[in-house]
Amino acid sequence: MTEQFPIADSFEHEALEGNVIGEYKAPEGNNVVPVMLDNRPDWPFKLTNKGVHYRVEKEDDDGKKAVEWKWVCGQLEIVADTHDRVSENWGRLLVVTDGAGIRHEWPMPMEMLSSTGEEIRKRLLSFGLLIASTSTARNKLNDYIAMASPKARYRCVDRIGWYDGKFVLPDVTFGDTEEERVIYQTTGSLEHAYRTSGSLDEWKEQIAAPATGNSRLAFALSCAFAGPLLGLVGEEGGGFHLRGSSSIGKSTALVVAGSVWGGGDNGGFIRQWRATDNALEAVALKHNDTLLCLDELGQVGGKVAGETAYMLANGAGKLRANRSGKARDVANWRVLFLSTGEIGIPDKIAEDGHGRKVKAGQEVRVVDIPADTGGDYRLFEDIHEHKDGDEFARALKKASTQFHGIAGQEFLIEIVRYRELVIQSVKIYQSKFMAEATPPSADGQVTRVLSRFAIVAAAGELATELGILPWRPGDASQAVKRCFEDWLLARGGSEATEVRQAISQVRLFIENYGLSRFELWTGSGFPIRDRVGYRKQNKEPSSSDTSAEDYYFMSEAFKTDVCKGLDPGMVIRALKDKGYLITKDDGKSQTTHKPPAHGRTIKLYHVSGNIVGGDAHD
């Protein structure tokens, strides 16, 4: 997989020079802003270089009318009305010029005017807007925003990601035009981690280049570029979980991946698993079509971990009622997330002691990858002239705080520009990767997971072709293929999850209770408590032979005790397919026997003792 990315010659990459968007262009000079006046004779406000003022008419002692202008606040422009696709969620695009001359845009939802306006003032003050302290001025500020009639209208969305061929981030939209601007508008927090720092060349030199030769780091970076491609090619969301012991480099992989989209202090682009599911819905919306990095699975319980992973991958929040009792709109998103933890999702789910098992749907949606590559440096394979893995990890983390965010924006510029070509190329590469990497007789669950690995490989190769990743063609694919193979090995093969669980559960039952709950075929001479069947010596035992005894399960005990939590029919089929269930020529699952200990003829499930010494990955 070292060939050139499909249709690569059609891409003409140019370095980012400013944001390619239809930015609002402020009027020149510091005079009254025409868009705010609307030529209305009754318009009681004006905006000058001193800020917003409201008109007060007075009569002097001679009865003559005089106009006085009272100051409301600093420079606050109301640039446009905003509304969504169905002409709801109206708002106003406000622009604040602070004392340093820096302009701040805020798409303000109109519903915020329904209260006293305190929250609006808090937001405006945080942008550096000076506001008069009198109650009259505060009320006039609300009037100023509510009564304005700007000529421009922009489309608003409540989540980042793709919208009608454009890509929306909190502060910038790619593919925008002056004719149709699309902006991110929310009543929630304005905080986000899509910050940029440094140049693309610095990011490539300090972060992306050292990732070469490191399968987990290269995989993590490729994951970061895969998020925007999911919606383009119709791929479902999901997650990858790097599992391994403490201090082996898992968090470093997260930081490196997050540096594609943003970062900075206070954790940068990294989120924590301990967030509540309500908060996590809002987090998912803020990471729609990009990458969500979740650290420390150990911070949450098994039940919450399973539900959260499934909810994130499934792309839908919980159904809730509003104050009137009617159902609220369910939050929807499409997110690729990268997670870390000392144990895997299946073990975490089972950790609560209630006998829960990972469901096939959960295993498909969240893929456990061993973080340890088996080398001297644990997660790392090449530490690039650093003295040890710890120094290498610290260098990457330090670089990520200095250089971040620009690579993701560069990538968006190109895939928006070449959207149809990108879709075509990614689909071709994804199909080719799957054709080469699919194991023989792979179950549908495995091919579904491989499809996600394939789009990660395509993302890495596309970013390489565009000059954003400083790698050779094929580097991303090799790293992704290595991670897929390690996942498949740790999983135990390419069969369905249910089949592996079935064989494992029967094997574990025999290992735990082979002597205590199975009566000897010829009788033990004493009662067996909670008997499930019989064990029969089928040949002379030896110290190295674990299959000297076969096991005969009674029907109901097998269904209720041995198959607890599983479909008995599925377990029987799995045993048959593996050759562990011994049947006669008629192929029936149960065979007729007359154990001397029982004294009469009964039907039993005959399981070969070879299951105990079988492959642990059956």
Q: 426 with 519, same domain? A: no
Beta strands in 311-454 (DSSP E): 336-341, 366-370
542 in a domain, yes or no? Answer: yes
473 in a domain, yes or no? Answer: yes
Q: 482 with 399, same domain? A: yes
- The pLDDT tens digits for 55-97 are 998 877 777 788 899 999 999 999 999 999 999 999 999 999 9
Most confident among 183-192, 351-360, 478-487 (mean pLDDT): 478-487
Q: 207 with 148, same domain? A: no
Confidence of residue 31 (pLDDT cuts 50, 70, 90): very low
**551 pLDDT more than 80:** yes
Confidence of residue 32 (pLDDT cuts 50, 70, 90): very low
- The pLDDT tens digits for 205-243 are 999 999 999 999 999 999 999 999 999 999 989 999 999
Q: What is the mean pLDDT of the chain?
A: 85
234 in a domain, yes or no? Answer: yes
| pLDDT score of 601 | 92
Q: 399 with 474, same domain? A: yes
Confidence of residue 36 (pLDDT cuts 50, 70, 90): very low
204 in a domain, yes or no? Answer: yes
243 in a domain, yes or no? Answer: yes
Strand 591-593, strand 602-607: pairing:
antiparallel
Helices marked H in 17-104 — which ranges?
Answer: 34-37
329 in a domain, yes or no? Answer: yes
| pLDDT score of 528 | 86
Q: 446 with 541, same domain? A: no
| pLDDT score of 358 | 55
Q: In this structure, are residues 513 and 519 in contact, taking their beta carbons and an 8 Å threshold? A: no
Q: Tally the C-alpha atoms within 13 A of residue 288's C-alpha that lie toward its C-beta.
A: 24
195 in a domain, yes or no? Answer: no
**Domain range for residue 156?**
39-184
**494 pLDDT more than 90:** no
Q: 268 with 328, same domain? A: yes
For residue 586, give the DSSP letter: T
Q: Tally the C-alpha atoms within 13 A of residue 134's C-alpha that lie toward its C-beta.
A: 7
Distance CA 273, CA 299 (A): 6
For helices 419-437 and 215-233, give the axis angle rounded to 10 degrees: 120
Q: 423 with 551, same domain? A: no
Q: 97 with 162, same domain? A: yes
**474 pLDDT more than 70:** yes
- CATH number for the domain spanning 250: value is 3.40.50
Share of the chain above pLDDT 90, in %: 57
- The pLDDT tens digits for 129-160 are 999 999 999 999 999 999 999 999 999 998 99
Mean pLDDT score, 185-199: 89
Q: 170 with 302, same domain? A: no
Strand 549-554, strand 591-593: pairing:
unpaired
Q: 240 with 321, same domain? A: yes
| pLDDT score of 223 | 97
| pLDDT score of 439 | 86
| pLDDT score of 9 | 67
State the residue for tokens 């710890």: 390
Q: In this structure, are residues 98 and 105 in contact, taking their beta carbons and an 8 Å threshold? A: no
Mean pLDDT score, 303-308: 81
| pLDDT score of 373 | 94
- Of 497, 523, 507, 501, the C-alpha closest to 581 is 507
| pLDDT score of 299 | 82
- The residue from 155, 184, 213 where one domain ends is 184
Torsion angle defined by CA atoms of residues 491, 492, 497 and 500, in that order, rounded to the nearest 10 degrees = -140
Distance CA 131, CA 598 (A): 92
Confidence of residue 282 (pLDDT cuts 50, 70, 90): confident
Distance CA 269, CA 401 (A): 10
Number of H helices, E strands in the chain: 18, 21
- Tallying the residues shown for the chain, one arrives at 618
| pLDDT score of 266 | 57
| pLDDT score of 277 | 59
Distance CA 580, CA 182 (A): 61
| pLDDT score of 40 | 63
Q: Tally the C-alpha atoms within 13 A of residue 326's C-alpha that lie toward its C-beta.
A: 3
| pLDDT score of 278 | 64
Q: 477 with 504, same domain? A: no
426 or 492, greater pLDDT: 426
- Of 179, 203, 150, the C-alpha closest to 403 is 203
| pLDDT score of 292 | 95
- The residue from 491, 506, 541 where one domain ends is 491
Confidence of residue 30 (pLDDT cuts 50, 70, 90): very low
Cβ burial of 70 (10 Å; 0-12, 13-18, 19+) is middle
The number of folded domains in the chain is 3
Provide the token pair at 54: 């409201």
| pLDDT score of 545 | 46
Most confident among 30-34, 310-314, 588-592 (mean pLDDT): 588-592
| pLDDT score of 33 | 39
80 in a domain, yes or no? Answer: yes
- The residue from 120, 152, 184 where one domain ends is 184
Q: 178 with 217, same domain? A: no
- Supply the pTM of this predicted model: 0.78
| pLDDT score of 15 | 52
Torsion angle defined by CA atoms of residues 413, 166, 192 and 328, in that order, rounded to the nearest 10 degrees = -160
Mean pLDDT score, 550-554: 93
583 or 2, greater pLDDT: 583
